[in-house]
Amino acid sequence: MSNIVSEIRDDLIIEIKDAIRRAVDEEILNLDNPPDDVMLEVPREEGHGDYATNIAMVLAGQAGMAPRDIAQVIVDNLAELELVSKVEIAGPGFINFYLVDEWLYQIIETVLNEKEDYGKSNFGNGKKVQIEFVSANPTGPLHVGHGRGAVAGDVLGNIMSAAGFDVAKEYYINDAGNQMELLGKSVALRYQELLGADITMPENSYQGDYIEKIAAKIETEYGDKYLTDVQDGNYEFFREFAYEQLLANIKADLQAFGIEFDNWFSERKLHQEDKIGEVVAQLKEDGYLYEEEGALWLKSTDFGDDKDRVVIKDNGVPTYLAADIAYHDNKYQRGFEEVINVWGADHHGYIARMKAAVEALGYSPEMLKVIIVQMVTLLRDGKQVSMSKRAGDFITLRDVVDEVGCDAARYFYVMRSTDSHLDFDLDLAKEESAENPVYYIQYAHARICSILDQIKKEEIKIEDVSGVDLERLDTEVELDLIQKLGDYPEELAESAKSREPHHMARYAYELAAQFHSFYNKCHVLIQDEEVMQARLQLVLAVKQVLSNLLNILGVSAPESM
């Protein structure tokens, strides 16, 4: 996809590098290694130009000159740039570039011509990336914390796909091990209780009301058919029945939350195909395992971990780490060049050992990226919500979605960096006001649709953009809005690069804010035909970018509110 903003930026970088080379050739600058890369960024503060570079400060040590002197040399050697109105040296040696307004109008044409493809790029160059997220144990309903990781992984996948990565979204089903056995026993005991037995639930058992409901379903469908199994300590039927019920519920909850996975990977497959045994044998052969006190240990300290880790216990049972090593080996065997794991805050200490295991397998640790999602606190009436009436001991994801709606839940979950704690204000998420960010963004889209409805009612023809004089858009609020539209491709690529989905939520809010400012200051349906047609093209472009953005976020773009 063409991108006028990126093209201008790339041209500026080329010209800066050419200016440096000219200065070196003329022996004005003494550089043994002229730079291959030049950092060119949008200044944070208005008034500092459209782009700025710190290259003069980067070169100061090598050139043996003051940064401002280097900056002056670079500026003096710049060729005349068609779209640059002026160049200034600021502060310790920044070079600020100010562009002419004319280039902005090309943004509107680009948006309207590319439509839903606007913003997409080949930045990722088809790199195969797997994003694994949620991956909650199928031992209970998804809770409120799972929702944040779910949206972070889903939106990041959308962002990276739009930026040219070949993305696969995956859910790892932890359906083997002690927690599954405990699930079966918990349901079996509740089943036994329903049939009249006086039972005591172990402290570590699953005790949410969902366990009782599953037991009741078994009792309704099968009566006392499996009572003997319980009495004999055979919980296999209960484990499998509960597993199927809970996994189906998880899938239904995620689908209702707008999340679809490309693959659901069962941990059992690793055990059934002895993939864990194969990986352990490989690590042993490579000299990365040793035996101590009857257990097999990974030499993870060789790869930066703070201590070695057990992979096979002294009873011969693989640890969770062993299964995770086999699973990650499977990911790379499937051809993924990078795997991204979205984990909860309680997994932070697991990163070093997992990276060590990846390196021991012969892969670069850079092929594993872990995104830690911090805790979520729900607020109602300004106070923390501590309990769910329906779940008994935790708040389910479905509780949240049912209360505030899918759109608000998705936006609120992704509007802050995953690194920071999230206060999720349930009252605010339901509020129909400018204070509610998702309402504010969606209202911008609905406002544009209202304008277009009015145009239709008054039978006003919207001209093709190629025949409209866009230079009639000359007020500061109009130019700022166009500039914001032009930022979208760069924002999308940067969000993909940093693996930080909250950037797009923030950008959506900023774009909506600038549109609302435009709407309040510039009437669209006016007597001046040329200005009206130009403003119609602008609002159509804003509508398109908002639609693209909301699609990335998995939030609907309503036509009326």
Q: Domain 4-100 maps to which CATH number in 3.30.1360.70, 3.90.550.10, 1.10.620.20, 3.40.640.10?
A: 3.30.1360.70
Alpha helices in 431-475 (DSSP H): 437-457
Compute how many other C-beta atoms are within 10 angstroms of the C-beta atom of residue 477.
Answer: 15
Which helix H or strand E contains 400, and what residues bound it?
helix 397-404
pLDDT of the residue at 84 = 87
Picking from 353, 434, 479, 425, the residue whose alpha carbon sits closest to that of residue 100 is 479
Decide if 4-100 and 133-258+374-430 have a common fold.
no
Kindly list the domain boundaries of the chain, sorted by start residue. 4-100, 133-258+374-430, 273-372, 434-553
**What is the per-residue pLDDT for 476?**
92
Q: List the chain residues with pLDDT less than 50.
A: 1, 388-392
CATH superfamily of 133-258+374-430: HUPs (3.40.50.620)
Task: Say how many C-beta atoms besides its own lie within 10 A of residue 486's C-beta.
Answer: 25
CATH superfamily of 434-553: Isoleucyl-tRNA Synthetase; Domain 1 (1.10.730.10)
List, for residues 134-169, the tens digit of each pLDDT value: 999 999 999 999 999 999 999 999 999 999 999 999
Q: pLDDT value at position 3?
A: 63
Confirm if 171 and 263 have CB atoms less than 8 A apart: yes
One-letter amino acid identity for 417? S
Determine the pLDDT at residue 389.
41
Q: Please give the pLDDT value at position 1.
A: 46
343 vs 332: CA distance, rounded Å: 19
pTM of the predicted protein model: 0.89
Sheet of 376-380, strand order: 383-384, 376-380, 422-425
The pLDDT tens digits of the residues spanning 378-389 come to 999 999 987 544
Contacts (Cβ under 8 Å, ≥6 apart) of 228: none
**Checking phi first, is residue 29 left (phi over 0); if not, alpha (psi -120 to 50) or beta?**
beta
